[in-house]
């Protein structure tokens, strides 16, 4: 029966068993970050709107079309965070984290909000896990950031993804390139809106999906060929280090990102089986961001991995991630005395760090066994009045239906051993 309410447009719900896989994906990325020395930062869900306008860039779609902006009761203009990098930079500056050991290395997770047109894999509430490393312009750090993402995907068992890599230059070479590209674009046969974009943000035109635009772009100048010597040797070092660490990548000189802060190393992870929304993660360097937000002039690099899309990628590769069961043991009490006993047995089992649940309500043996099956438990502990008086329980292996009668005092030890055996 459909209720009166539905989730807002473009907002996915995650509930068991799929939510277990969602958490497993989130944890895998968080673990890869923690393994490389990133500390956790909990970012606010909303911030001063100008943090994003200044940080991400006024002419980006994310800021100009997709932000959820609202006024609070004190008349402040706030926005739901569309991404995490600007928020991390703000935390680092506000709390002086950049006055300590550099680079500052942080990771974060959670929902972000973009009023995009919803479609398969494109949500208005999207989930990311991200890392940021601020304060060390070192190619080895670029390689670390990329490797953490690569390790996270591989730890989930993913294989069919590609790493697209390029350099977007710096404050020295990029403006010259922009001008060159803009001049080139303005000579083409483009509509007014695209011409405007060619003046304002010419790199974005390279990303235009329309065939009539793309076919005119074959000989467009590319930033990778216009890098200054510093950017060029920096990029070569990143590529050489990636090769040395066995992280495979595809040079992507036409890669365009939707956020304006990128400089030098820029990358995207792509999963071809996801169709139109194939980007499972992306990131890069942002060497001017800290200064533009009023902080020290420190470099930075990071990534945001899309948790929703990474889960979809796992599903596309038929990977089962996360525990699909809710518990290991399910107690089935039959009769009132057994029901009361089950309450304390449940506590004993959980105290031994075994996930356990019981049949609540008056469901009868059949209903209770069905609940045990649905929970994914490996074992059912069946107690009837007879077992209560003899201080025994029946432990049923739900996998092969074998059954053992065990004294109450031995129940926990028996379960620990039996579960261990199923895991071997
Ligand atoms: P982004 O490329 O905008 O980068 O987003 C990162 C990832 O979030 C994407 O690759 C995609 O997997 C996921 N994502 C983005 N939008 C949506 C959506 N509407 N629905 C589902 N998934 C989505 C950033 O946000 C940067 N802050 C990453 C970064 C960190 N760069 C440097 N540090």
CA 405 – CA 398 distance, rounded (Å) = 15
Of the candidates 350, 311, 324, 369, which has an alpha carbon nearest to the alpha carbon of residue 157?
A: 311
Choose between 201 and 251: higher pLDDT: 251
pLDDT in tens, 7-49: 999 999 999 999 999 999 999 999 999 999 999 999 999 999 9
342 pLDDT exceeds 70?
A: yes
Task: Say whether the peptide bond before residue 17 is cis (omega within 30 degrees of 0).
Answer: yes
Which of 251-260, 276-285, 345-354 is least confident? 251-260
Tally of CB atoms within 10 A around 208: 18
195's tokens: 């011409």
pLDDT in tens, 160-181: 999 999 999 999 999 999 999 9
pLDDT for residue 105: 98
CA 238 – CA 139 distance, rounded (Å) = 5
Which residue's CA is the nearest one to ligand 1's atom 21?
Answer: 122
Which residue's CA is the nearest one to ligand 1's atom 15?
Answer: 306
* CA 153–ligand 1 middle distance (angstroms): 15
At residue 424 the predicted structure's pLDDT band, cuts being 50, 70 and 90, is: confident
47's tokens: 């911030």
Which residue's CA is the nearest one to ligand 1's atom 14?
Answer: 306
Please give the C-alpha separations between residue 96 and each of 88, 91, 326, 368, in angstroms, as whole numbers.
12, 8, 43, 57
Please state whether 111 falls in left (phi above 0), alpha (psi between -120 and 50) or beta.
Answer: beta
250 pLDDT exceeds 80?
A: yes
DSSP single-letter state for residue 8: P
pLDDT in tens, 402-423: 999 999 999 999 999 999 998 8
Quote the distance between the C-alpha of residue 41 and its chain's center.
15
CATH class of 329-418: alpha beta
Mean pLDDT across 328-332:
98
* DSSP codes of every residue in 90-114: HHHHHTTGGGSSSSEEEEEEEEEE-
**Contact status, residue 28 vs residue 129, Cβ threshold 8 Å:** no
Mutate to test the pocket of ligand 1, among 121, 259, 287, 306 (most ligand atoms within 8 A of CB): 306
pLDDT for residue 209: 85
Domain boundaries, the chain: 18-173+227-316, 329-418
Question: Among the atoms of ligand 1, which is closest to the Cα of residue 258?
Answer: 3
Question: Among the atoms of ligand 1, which is closest to the Cα of residue 114?
Answer: 19
* CA 217–ligand 1 middle distance (angstroms): 26
pLDDT for residue 423: 85
Residue 340: strand, helix, or coil: helix
389's tokens: 């008086």
pLDDT for residue 201: 85
Residue 79: strand, helix, or coil: strand
Q: Name all residues whose Cβ lies below 6 A of ligand 1.
A: 83-85, 114, 116, 121-123, 126, 128, 130, 132, 258-259, 279-284, 302-304, 306, 308-309
2 pLDDT exceeds 80?
A: no
What pTM was estimated for this model as a whole?
Answer: 0.94
pLDDT in tens, 343-401: 999 999 999 999 999 999 988 899 999 999 999 999 999 999 888 999 999 999 999 99
Of the candidates 239, 234, 56, 85, which has an alpha carbon nearest to the alpha carbon of residue 165?
A: 239
Same fold, 18-173+227-316 and 329-418: no
Tally of CB atoms within 10 A around 21: 21
Domain 18-173+227-316 in CATH 3.40.50.1100? no
Mean pLDDT across 101-118:
97
pLDDT for residue 301: 98
Mean pLDDT across 118-135:
97
Of the candidates 303, 291, 289, which has an alpha carbon nearest to the alpha carbon of residue 257?
A: 303
pLDDT for residue 77: 98
1 pLDDT exceeds 80?
A: no
Mean pLDDT across 283-294:
97
53's tokens: 């306008």
Quote the distance between the C-alpha of residue 180 and its chain's center.
36
141's tokens: 């750090």
Mutate to test the pocket of ligand 1, among 108, 128, 278 (most ligand atoms within 8 A of CB): 128
* CA 391–ligand 1 middle distance (angstroms): 57
Tally of CB atoms within 10 A around 104: 24
Quote the percentage of the chain above a pLDDT of 90.
91
Mutate to test the pocket of ligand 1, among 207, 257, 304, 314 (most ligand atoms within 8 A of CB): 304
């Amino acid at each position: 029966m459909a209720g009166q309410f539905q989730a807002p447009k473009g907002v996915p719900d995650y509930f068991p068993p799929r939510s277990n896989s969602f958490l497993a994906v989130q944890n895998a990325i968080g673990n890869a970050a923690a393994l490389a020395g990133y500390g956790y930062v909990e970012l606010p869900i909303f911030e001063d709107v100008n943090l994003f306008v200044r940080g991400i860039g006024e002419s980006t779609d994310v800021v100009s079309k997709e932000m959820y902006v609202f006024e609070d009761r004190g008349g402040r203009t706030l926005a739901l965070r569309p991404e995490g990098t600007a928020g991390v930079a703000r935390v680092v500056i506000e709390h002086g984290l950049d006055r300590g050991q550099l680079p500052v290395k942080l990771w974060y997770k959670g929902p972000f909000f973009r009023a995009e047109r919803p479609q398969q894999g494109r949500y208005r509430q999207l989930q990311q896990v991200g890392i940021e490393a601020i304060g060390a312009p070192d190619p080895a750090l670029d390689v670390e950031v990329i490797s953490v993402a690569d390790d996270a995907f591989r730890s989930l068992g993913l294989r069919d993804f590609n790493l697209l890599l390029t350099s977007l230059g710096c404050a020295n070479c990029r403006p010259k390139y922009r001008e060159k590209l803009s001049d080139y674009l303005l000579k083409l046969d483009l509509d007014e809106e695209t011409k405007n974009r060619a003046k304002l943000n010419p790199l974005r035109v390279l990303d235009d999906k329309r065939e009539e635009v793309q076919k005119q772009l074959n000989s467009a100048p590319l930033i990778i060929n216009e890098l200054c010597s510093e950017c060029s040797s920096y990029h070569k070092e990143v590529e050489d280090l990636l090769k040395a660490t066995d992280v495979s990548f595809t040079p992507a000189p036409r890669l365009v990102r939707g956020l304006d802060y990128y400089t030098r190393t820029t990358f995207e992870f792509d999963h071809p089986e996801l169709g139109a929304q194939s980007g499972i993660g992306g990131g890069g360097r942002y060497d001017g961001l800290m200064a533009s937000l009023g902080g020290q002039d420190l470099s930075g690099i990071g990534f945001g991995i899309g948790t929703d899309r990474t889960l979809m990628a796992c599903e596309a590769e038929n990977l089962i991630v996360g525990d699909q069961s809710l518990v290991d043991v399910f107690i089935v009490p039959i009769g009132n005395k057994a029901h009361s006993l089950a309450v304390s047995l449940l506590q004993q089992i959980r105290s031994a760090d075994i996930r356990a649940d019981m049949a609540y309500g008056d469901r009868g043996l059949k209903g209770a066994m069905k609940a045990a099956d649905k929970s994914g438990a490996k074992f059912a502990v069946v107690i009837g009045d007879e077992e209560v008086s003899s201080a025994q329980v029946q432990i049923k292996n739900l996998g092969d239906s074998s059954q053992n009668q065990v004294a109450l005092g031995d129940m926990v030890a028996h379960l620990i051993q039996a579960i261990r055996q199923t895991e071997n």
